Every structure is written in structure tokens, then in C-alpha cells.
Amino acid sequence: MSDVLTETKPGTGKAISLSDRAARRISEIVAGEGDGVMLRVSVSGGGCSGFQYGFTLDDHRDADDLVIEKSGATVLIDSVSVMYLEGSEIDFVDDLIGSSFKIHNPNATASCGCGTSFSI
């Protein structure tokens, strides 16, 4: 079985995937938050490289959100952020410098050292 679930929003072309590790961690985080809480991933202007990733908990799904579901975890991505994340994998890493969600983004031409901002 594949280690990622991919979802494509009609018209975008390249799938965004969610790793098993990320799905497990999202499920752990939202377990204590009540029913209907999901992880929202977004891209906004700012950060040291031009764009930055945002991770928030949300209990509202917009009609134009891309929804990725895997192993009980739900990720929402707004329609503007989808174009910056096409072909990306949302992962969760736990290493010596800490644990965090990490986005492996093939569209990024440069990123900062901590991986929270990028440029295209």
C-alpha cells in the first residue's frame, strides 16, 4: 500500500499528498479538540524567503477548499494556496532540532533554513 494519499483539485493538475506520519500526528493533535476540527495548511506572503507556510486548526470547511483525508485526519487547503502547493507532500518530521510539519514543495526554488518559508 502507498505511504501517501493524494488529492487533486479539478483544474490544478498536480496532486498534493499527505504522508502516513503527518496523518498520524494530525489525528493526535485534533483528538483533544472536539468534533470537526481539521488542520488548515496555507501559504501567505512573508517570511525570510518571500512566502511562508501556515498551519492552523479550523472547524470550518469552505466550499472551494481542497480536502485531503487520510486515516481519520483531514487537511484543508484554500484555493489560493493550492497553486503554490501543487505536487507537494505534507510530512511530519521528528529530529534533533525538534518536531514539525514539513512541506516538500517541488515549486520552491529556495527556502529558509527552518523550512517555514520559500520562494518561487
Instruction: Output 20 or 8, whichever has higher pLDDT.
Output: 20
Rounded distance between C-alpha atoms, residue 47 and residue 44, angstroms: 9
pTM: 0.79
Q: Which of 36, 75, 73 is nearest to 56 (CA)?
A: 75
Rounded distance between C-alpha atoms, residue 115 and residue 64, angstroms: 27
Mean pLDDT, the chain, rounded, equals 81
What is the pLDDT confidence band of residue 10, given thresholds at 50, 70 and 90? very low
For range 85-114, the mean pLDDT: 80
SS in 3 state form for 16-52?
A: EEEEHHHHHHHHHHHHCCCCCCEEEEEEEECCCCCEE
**Residue 47's pLDDT is what?**
61
Decide which of 42 and 50 is more confident: 42
What pLDDT, on the 0 to 100 scale, is given for residue 20?
95
One-character DSSP codes across 63-119: TT-EEEEETTEEEEE-HHHHHHHTT-EEEEEEETTEEEEEEE-TT-SEE-TTSSEEE
Return the pLDDT at 8. Answer: 46
pLDDT digits (tens, 9 = 90+) for 54-95: 999 999 999 999 999 999 999 999 999 998 899 999 999 888
